[in-house]
Structure 1
């Protein structure tokens, strides 16, 4: 079977190509891909090329398919998996395989397995790690946002606090505590706000910071105070004493701090506002391998403050994300700001930092350039824009159905 895919050959070398997939063996599965969501991690991958820790050194000779936030259907099942997976079943993949002897992951490491393609072959690694998961949501694009939501879930589970009177830890954020999402108006920060509001453990205050007034305004329109959970937005660019202001906003220090931008100053600020037994999670993945920041070791020793870093979720996080989306408890559609076809993936990926907005959803079977939802709504002659207006500018099943029916196949 022929496939079209965006493949990485080296640093900044992404190419859309058509090529023949080999016949699957008994331990593989042939899949279609319908949607992929572009992640900043793929931009980092493209920048680092063969130097990336998850990428084989020989990608110039054996390029890998990029994209790891994808959703589609089973086409053909190798006989070793026939008792578990069925043709036409909708699926998502947990890309963080956590193999015991290699760092390989879909979208980073495999010749025939990645999200920015029309058809792919899932290697045995995926199924053996139980990372091919059924998904019964009503849209494909929400399926592509399960993986990023699982990363947020994993981060929230990664925080920990002492059980009073012991040195044992209770995992997760603090119930009824103060939670800071620093640099939190990007797509991952928005997912964190949604999960903080609708997850099982709820804080008392959620404070979101950024230095961009437009992004803060959009976030404040999407996520508001709900019940006993109060939501606050702070533009730190306008404040002289950020630490004092953040404490005043929440009525004290913070039990959980999440850093969503790799800025040393944010880490230091977070260190200064931690309550005793508070936990700071450095979520943002820096490009600079020498990234460091000043933190308070007095508080670590005497006030038992904690520091963690999480990168990706696991399969259990993915299952929780699937259920939250299927049950419509978390609305991941709110983070989508752009759509595109497979032909626009390479350029969009390489220019991710310069493109404003949130998540960019790829319809991999389609051919069309990057479209901003905001601009589509401004076009009075756009049928898609009319659909968006009906839904307050938020991507939806109706919008996806329109794309699937009315845009050119690649």
Structure 2
């Protein structure tokens, strides 16, 4: 066991636009807990929304985000210390490369007790709740005894390892879509998650995969990853084009990963009657639509997709077998001290996945 003590460098969130790089104590681990040295932490769209004060994180007298807290829920690292019983429980040793599900489940609620840990009623997500779920924008990070920890195999590159969390989320979303060979699938949004989903949808070999995005660089990547047709809604009428490609019926499956309200209303218009609409995005503001489209007009299957239950091993295996890639998706890396620049870059058209590397 490595006896680590003293201080470490970390980004600490105190409130909207009040994030600071500080020297904080290295986490102390207890029974069945694991300490890792963080190798990389991705900047998620939700991190950026939290930084700029989105109501979904900060609203009310008891906001969901519990500050002060170290942010960061897309991570991987190397085991440096194992608490009593952790080596046996998680089958780990010092030096192993690992990651963990972004949720730190309570293990006690009805969802955890029935295997549905990703919907844990307590719902502590690493990087959003102080003390119980400190994140990975730091030199070291602690996994709890209830964490879902996964070893990363040798064939997975560092870039791929940093993309396991988004790929896991993408896998769950595509699983929720139940894509069939004869389906025309529309993937709305070709950011990090969309580009991961495109690779996975292509492995499902649907009849046609159509990708929508307003960023031409991302559409080029979508084509490379398996899209049959790419549409820029700023340049042409996406609904009209999809209808034309489907004899006027609309697509069979629509996956929403734009994070923009127009992604919802556009999708409800272009999906066919009895189609499947999969909602993944986290929205920064309220989205409204005519709900009669869902029931009275089209009888749609509306399915949400949350987190990445049981998908990390699948993501690791797909990377290991080179069936999916991080190439071109991870675009920028920054030091912890430059986190503000990293958050700003994450919103720029030339960036896709931005990493912090302690």
State whether TM-score is above 0.5.
yes
- 2:101 counterpart residue number: 94
- Please say if 1:223 is aligned against 2:225: yes
Preserved contact between residue 185 and residue 209 of structure 2 (Cα < 8 Å): yes
SS at match of 2:210: strand
Work out the CA distance in 1 between the residues paired with 2:53 and 2:298.
39
Alignment of 1:87-236 (within 5 A): 87-99=94-106, 100=109, 101-111=121-131, 113-126=134-147, 131-136=148-153, 137-159=155-177, 172-182=178-188, 184-198=189-203, 201-220=204-223, 222-224=224-226, 231-236=228-233
Q: From the superposition, tell whether residues 90 and 218 of structure 1 become closer, same or farther in structure 2 (CA, over 3 Å).
A: closer
- 2:255 counterpart residue number: 258
- Please say if 1:32 is aligned against 2:37: yes
Matched residues, number: 330
Preserved contact between residue 141 and residue 361 of structure 1 (Cα < 8 Å): no
Work out the CA distance in 1 between the residues paired with 2:219 and 2:78.
37
Work out the CA distance in 1 between the residues paired with 2:105 and 2:175.
17
Preserved contact between residue 104 and residue 144 of structure 2 (Cα < 8 Å): no
Q: From the superposition, tell whether residues 173 and 219 of structure 1 become closer, same or farther in structure 2 (CA, over 3 Å).
A: closer
Preserved contact between residue 231 and residue 238 of structure 2 (Cα < 8 Å): no
Work out the CA distance in 2 between the residues paired with 1:303 and 1:293.
14
- Please say if 1:85 is aligned against 2:79: no
Work out the CA distance in 2 between the residues paired with 1:355 and 1:16.
26
Q: From the superposition, tell whether residues 308 and 192 of structure 1 become closer, same or farther in structure 2 (CA, over 3 Å).
A: same
- 2:289 counterpart residue number: 293
Displacement of 1:75 in angstroms is 0.8
Work out the CA distance in 1 between the residues paired with 2:334 and 2:253.
36
- Please say if 1:244 is aligned against 2:261: no
Larger-Rg structure: 1
Preserved contact between residue 199 and residue 226 of structure 2 (Cα < 8 Å): no
Displacement of 1:250 in angstroms is 4.6
Alignment of 1:381-392 (within 5 A): none
Consecutive unaligned residues of structure 2, counting only runs of 5 or more, are 110-120
Displacement of 1:302 in angstroms is 6.4
Alignment of 1:286-365 (within 5 A): 286-288=283-285, 290-297=286-293, 300-301=295-296, 303-314=298-309, 316-349=310-343, 352-354=346-348, 356-364=350-358
Work out the CA distance in 2 between the residues paired with 1:25 and 1:343.
29
Displacement of 1:210 in angstroms is 1.9
Work out the CA distance in 1 between the residues paired with 2:347 and 2:104.
27
Which of the numbers 13, 16, 25 marks the counterpart of 1:11? 16
Displacement of 1:32 in angstroms is 0.7
Consecutive unaligned residues of structure 1, counting only runs of 5 or more, are 160-171, 226-230, 365-410
Work out the CA distance in 1 between the residues paired with 2:353 and 2:245.
29
SS at match of 2:165: helix
Preserved contact between residue 70 and residue 128 of structure 2 (Cα < 8 Å): yes
Displacement of 1:70 in angstroms is 0.6
Work out the CA distance in 2 between the residues paired with 1:224 and 1:350.
29
TM-score by length of 2: 0.84
Displacement of 1:185 in angstroms is 2.3
Runs of 4+ aligned structure 1 residues displaced above 6 Å come to none
SS at match of 2:125: coil
Aligned-pair Cα RMSD in Å: 2.3
SS at match of 1:300: coil
